[in-house]
A and B are shown apart, each in its own frame.
Chain A
Amino acid sequence: MPKKSSRRRKPVASHKSRRKAAPSKRKRPARRKPLTGWRRFVNWRTILLGGFVLTVAWVIYLDVVIRVQFEGKRWALPAQVFGRPLELYAGATLSSQSFREELEQLGYRYAYRVSEPGTFSQSGGEFRLYSRAFHFWDGDAPARLMDVQFDDGMVQTVQDVKDGSELDIVRLEPLRVGGIYPSHREDRVLVKLEDVPPLLPKGLVAVEDRDFYLHHGVAPRAIARAMMANLKAGATVQGGSTMTQQLVKNFFLSNKRSLWRKGNEAIMAVLLEWHYDKDEILQAYLNEIYLGQEKSRAIHGFGLASHYYFDRPLQKLTLPQIATLIALVRGPSYYDPLRHPERLRKRRNLILDIMAEQAVITRDEANQAKTSGLGIARGRAGDTHYPAFMELVRRQLQRDYRKEDLTSEGLRIFTTFDPRVQQASEQALRRRTQLLDMQRGLQGQLQGAVVVTDTTSGEVLAVVGDRQPRYAGFNRALDAQRQIGSLIKPAVYLTALEQSDKYTLATSLNDSPISMKGPEGTIWSPKNYDDKSHGTVPLYSALVHSYNQATVRLGMDLGFERIADTLQRLGAEREIPPYPSMLLGAIGFTPYEVTGLYQTLASGGFHTPLRVIREVMTVDGEHLRRFPLEVEQTVDPAHVAVLVSALHEVTKTGTARSLQHHLPVGLTVAGKTGTTNDQRDSWFAGFSGEHLAVVWLGRDDNQPTGLTGSSGALTVWADIMGHIPTRPLPAPVTDKVAYYWIDQSSGLLSEAKCEGAINLAFIEGTAPQEHSACRESQTDSGSWFKNLFNR
């Protein structure tokens, strides 16, 4: 994308068309050689009058153009994006430490005397808290003085201090996650003139436009001065444009220089000065001026530039940093801090000298500042710590809301963002990728992505799109479409289990080698990961140990169409290719899409579209459309329960058994590992009773990483689940399903006491009838498993 957006291009285009039309009309009559009578009639007075009328019309046109631009920019408040509010109630799973962290994140101050909103005190597990008032879309939450007691990782009581009454449920104000402009792809951090460090506007005026407060938009003296300087030097060394002219130029960014253009800019500058006062123009300048380019994204305005170059808000910049930004005004690419640091440093020092000359700063201050380095710390180009999540918010807004609604300013967007889950996900991904990267000698090439949702509601709690989560670059969670490998297997096995008269978890499958003709006559013979064939195996075992040969055989028996249909019912929107390799996941999905598929399994067969926006409010508190929780049963919950009992076994005795060392005791989970050819992709998708998390690790250049699903992504997943309070898998309650002890190797009915017995679910009446050798007379169907779940 060029530096300017198409939105801005439009007025330029209309310029051009007029530019061609207008002068020709004026000049043509003079050049022609018409009849003599005509010549007398069309005298110079008429030409003058015509020219005058045209000029006036032209100026009026320019006036409209520039005012529309200026007004459009001036009040453009970003939409405020909020996370989920923390709900406090007796029984809420929340440790006192997490609570304190959340309070600090919300900007609550620790105080000995809690006497005003936004303060708290803590003594062990007891908090006194003065909450801030907040206007939720569905009602006001007043500021409230309360005592909150924690014990055993839970909220015990919430009490109103005033009257001692117990509060059933209290919502704290949500965390502001960031600001976005939902209707376009451009981020800005708008600043108000009174909020910026005074040195910035003073320095700008000193360097760019000394007569700013005196002129009326153009400064003939400055132009003359610049022309002289340029003549002397034999090149353009000085510009004569006022800041007002520069602002106009930025509105219609174009690199073309022409006299016609300059003339128009000058007229518009005068018009701007006529309509608006100096401070308004200066503020617009601060927010509009072009200061850099990050790939496709133009960095406009000092607010955003400050984050981009120094990773801190404008208010916190030092003198040399302010001077550096002023230096960039003249040519962000010519003075690019990365490519031409020396050039930029020189110009910064020149700026400091000018500031001292103009008595904006003292000579000493200038000299002192000149000794410091540039201190560039590339930060996030945007007003948020969570660029990956914000990108999802932006996309869902654009998908679900009308454009007219989104252009209204100062929207308040309430999202499902959970700061604690996000933090756990970021930390887990960062820590594990660093570690794995080092162990495998990947030289910083290992990348990853995480999506975490609530299993019931499909609400997206956290999104990480880069191992450096603050970096607003390629969002792998949403955009990295990678082969999913064995993550597809649950869909294959579910397709089988749905034919419960034909397939159960104990049905025998054939895991012997298989070859088939692929497209273009090639022979395809998939191998098992351990390169062995396992003969006849029970169905559950083929899934739990992720046997490829058995899966392909099963899939060929079931047929591609049936499996594609299952995938679609789980929520896949992509076309499923009817190739055998599809059965082993040779099909690309993004981590976000995979999350959608597993969501249906995690919520027991109910397809729940992933949701990131709860409500949107206008700046006046008016409530825009709401997108409620949606559920649609697309798979029989009984069949899902059977599948989940096997996916739980994956995490106990299967490919993800290492989870047993990672997770807290009693936290039962279900999941599946995924590894693709040559270990290019490492996946883990799994869920507890409350959270679903999907993790992908791999390289952007799609080279091998040496990681399997369990040696890579699983470790990140385990760290996340181990660090957030979550509930174990719920016990399935459907009457259609019963649990039986099954002998691992034979798939025959066994007994809890028997070695190698595992507990699996069967649709009522389909459990194996034959007994294993070990099984004793009495049956104790499933009580252990149910107890485990009911804990």
Chain B
Amino acid sequence: MNSLAVPAIGGAELHVIEFGDIVNYFSPYTAMLFAFAVLFTVIAIVSRPERQVDIAFGGDAYYTKDIQPEQLKFQRFMAIACGLATLGAVVSGDVFNFTLFTSMVGITNIGIVAAYKNRHVLNAAFQYGIVAMIATVPLFGGAAIILATTGTLSMWELFGSAIAVPLIAKAFLVLGVMGEGMAPFYVAKAEITRAPGAPYVLIIHVSSLLLFLRVVEIVLSM
């Protein structure tokens, strides 16, 4: 039907999955990201939550923080949803579909941290949620500007040399992914990781890292 522009940064396409106008594909680069996402999703499914131990200073006393089974179930569900959204985002072949998967990653990340009752963590989660929400403006805005100025959303067309994507759209896209995945905002993440419950917290980092790697590839290819 069609093929990626040569030379593509992510390598030639290996496998193509067609969903109507949205044509997803695996290239060596995205296949690798996909494998990582699968790996960490599986880890989230099979592993048991970490149990933090607090040691009281000046004595032998220590206590283990318990995680309620309901919270465990909820967080595992969110972690799996986050993993699936990451899977979708890294192999997406359509800009708008990519942005939707990205915002799904953002909202599942809010969900994972929102389950904690620690006030400090909740505060960080709230600020993070605000950024994830306003990030939809540059995210969808970038996709919309791409659609208006090029007439297509398909990466298969956009990666070709015939179509020039405006710089502002690319900048918006990167900015949007930064907001949803919090890639450069490690401040909030540092607070969030103080919460008990790895590996569910871990998937927040993995998903944002993979998303960022993917958006960099998209922007460089366009």
- Please determine whether chains A and B interact with each other in the same assembly: no
Residues of chain B having any CB pair with chain A under 8 Å: none
